[in-house]
Amino acid sequence: MTKTYLTPLSVDEQRDAGLPESWPFALRNMVEFSELDALNHVNNAAYLYWYENIRVRYFQHVALTKYQPDDPRIVIRRGEVDYLREMVQNEDYIVTLRTESYRNTSFTVYSEVWSSGVLRSTFRGVIVLLHPDGSGRMPLPAEFLTRIQTVDGAVKAG
- Give a yes or no: residue 23 inside a domain: yes
Distance CA 92, CA 14 (A): 13
- Is 141 a domain residue? yes
Whether 5 is covered by a domain: the verdict is: no
In a domain, 54, yes or no: yes
What's the number of domains the chain is made of?
1
Q: What's the chain's average pLDDT?
A: 96
Answer yes or no: is 3 within a domain: no
Interval 52-79 mean pLDDT: 96
Distance from chain centroid for Cα 80: 13
Q: Which residues span the domain enclosing 83? A: 11-156
Is 133 within a domain? yes
CA–CA distance from 102 to each of 46, 50, 82, 146, 147 (Å)?
27, 23, 22, 11, 12
pTM as predicted: 0.95
Average pLDDT over residues 30-47: 96
Query: Residue 97 sits in a domain of what CATH number?
Result: 3.10.129.10
What's the pLDDT at 4?
84
What are the CA-CA distances from residue 18 to residues 14, 43, 102 (Å)?
7, 24, 29
Return the exposure string of 9-47: e unless at least 16 CB atoms fall within 10 Å of the residue's CB, then b: beeebbeebebeeebbbbbbbebeeebbeeeebbeeebb
Q: Give the residue from 129, 158, 133 showing the smallest Cα distance to 141.
A: 129
